[in-house]
């Protein structure tokens, strides 16, 4: 794509798309061009349709993956090439929304027991205890942990939004243990191996996969499953849906109009499920 790729990359950057989204969109556009072996400016709706059918019939891509390709081509034609008519009649695929995998309270206890590394134990405990996305956990800085107010400041999260989440006592104790034993340098709470870097989500996924196998849990567990589990356990413990949505940072036109941000005082009064694991109150958790 050459110059067109550079222009599309600049358009994405100007609109502050996340780096991961930029990479995916550019890859999708490159695959579209490679399939037809023609410049995008010389193609139109017919070529887009044939390419998407190719993804369905021959590549057998999932609806979610197909949706990314549609979004990428829509950006290419609507923004970079200023030809919105090309994608006007191209629909987004219907994406099934199966129920997420959720771990029980007893499974969480077994999972934590298998993680020996104080660093990764703190990472996994923070992920489950706060419901953060794994990218948000990896990007945490020391300054984000506000032990006095009992909250964690999430900066520049999805869609560029900041928010606060609760800082459970068990998470704080795990972070303090981790800090005393490792004394990480720099602003990152969980630094990576390279100076100035942060721990990679892929590394956390690998550690979690090994821990799940060691715990004998017969479920496909990813860091995002811990987020689903956090939300489910919060609901089971009686937390209202409004609080859960704000804590998780879910955003849409509907939710942003309907819900308001929760004060740090209310966050401190919200009990994280990590606080009751292994106690008598944990009987309220299913499993």
Residue 214 structure tokens? 């060691």
Burial class (CB in 10 A: 0-12, 13-18, 19+), 141: middle
- Strands (DSSP E) contained in the chain are 145-146, 151-154, 163-166
Which H helix or E strand runs over 134?
helix 134-138
Q: Which of 158, 205, 228, 235 is catalytic?
A: 158
Measured from the Cβ of residue 175, the count of other Cβ atoms closer than 10 Å reads: 22
**What are the CA-CA distances from residue 187 to residues 37, 151, 161, 182, 235 (Å)?**
46, 18, 20, 14, 34
Q: How far is CA 271 from CA 112, 170, 230, in A?
A: 19, 11, 11
Q: Is 195 helix (H, G, I), strand (E, B) or coil?
A: coil
Contact predicate 224/127, CB 8 Å: no
Task: Given the residues 121, 163, 227, 233, select the one marked as catalytic.
Answer: 227
Choosing from 161, 250, 269, 284, which is the catalytic residue? 250
Q: Does residue 119 carry a catalytic annotation?
A: no
Q: How far apart are CA 52 and CA 88, in angstroms?
A: 15
Which residue among the candidates 30, 224, 228, 235 is catalytic per the annotation?
A: 224
Give the span between the Cα atoms of 85 and 91, in whole angstroms: 13
Catalytic residue among 83, 153, 228, 259: 259
The radius of gyration computed from the CA coordinates of the chain, to the nearest angstrom, equals: 22
Q: Which of 133, 163, 170, 233 is catalytic?
A: 133
**Is 227 among the residues known to form the active site?**
yes
Q: Is 224 part of the annotated catalytic residue set?
A: yes
Which residues, in sequence order, are bridge partners of residue 73?
A: none
- Is 51 in the active site? no
**In the annotation, is 17 catalytic?**
no
Catalytic status, residue 158: yes
For the annotated catalytic residues, the residue numbers are 133, 158, 224, 227, 250, 259
């Amino acid at each position: 794509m050459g110059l067109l790729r550079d222009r599309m990359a600049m358009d994405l950057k100007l609109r502050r798309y996340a780096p991961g989204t930029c990479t995916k969109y550019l890859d999708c556009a490159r695959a579209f061009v490679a399939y037809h072996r023609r410049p995008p400016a010389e193609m139109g709706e017919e070529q887009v349709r044939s390419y998407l059918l190719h993804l369905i019939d021959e590549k057998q891509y999932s609806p979610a993956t197909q949706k990314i390709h549609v979004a990428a081509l829509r950006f290419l034609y609507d923004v970079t090439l200023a030809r919105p008519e090309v994608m006007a009649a191209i629909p987004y695929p219907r994406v099934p929304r199966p129920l997420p995998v959720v771990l029980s309270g007893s499974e969480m206890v077994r999972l934590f027991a298998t993680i020996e590394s104080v660093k990764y134990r703190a990472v996994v405990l923070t992920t489950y205890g706060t419901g953060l996305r794994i990218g948000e956990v990896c990007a945490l800085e020391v300054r984000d942990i506000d032990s006095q107010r009992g909250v964690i400041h999430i900066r520049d999260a999805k869609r560029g939004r900041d928010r606060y989440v609760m800082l459970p006592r068990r998470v704080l104790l795990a972070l303090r243990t981790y800090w005393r034993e490792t004394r990480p340098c720099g602003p990152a709470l969980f630094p990576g191996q390279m100076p100035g870097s942060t721990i990679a989500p892929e590394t956390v996924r690998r550690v979690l996969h090994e821990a799940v196998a060691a715990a004998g849990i017969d479920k496909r567990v990813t860091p995002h499953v811990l987020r689903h589990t956090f939300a489910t356990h919060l609901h089971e413990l009686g937390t209202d849906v409004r609080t859960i949505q704000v804590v998780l940072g879910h955003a849409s036109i509907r939710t942003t109009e309907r819900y308001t941000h929760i004060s740090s005082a209310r966050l401190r009064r919200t009990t994280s499920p990590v606080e009751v694991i292994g106690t008598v109150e944990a009987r309220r958790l299913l499993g």
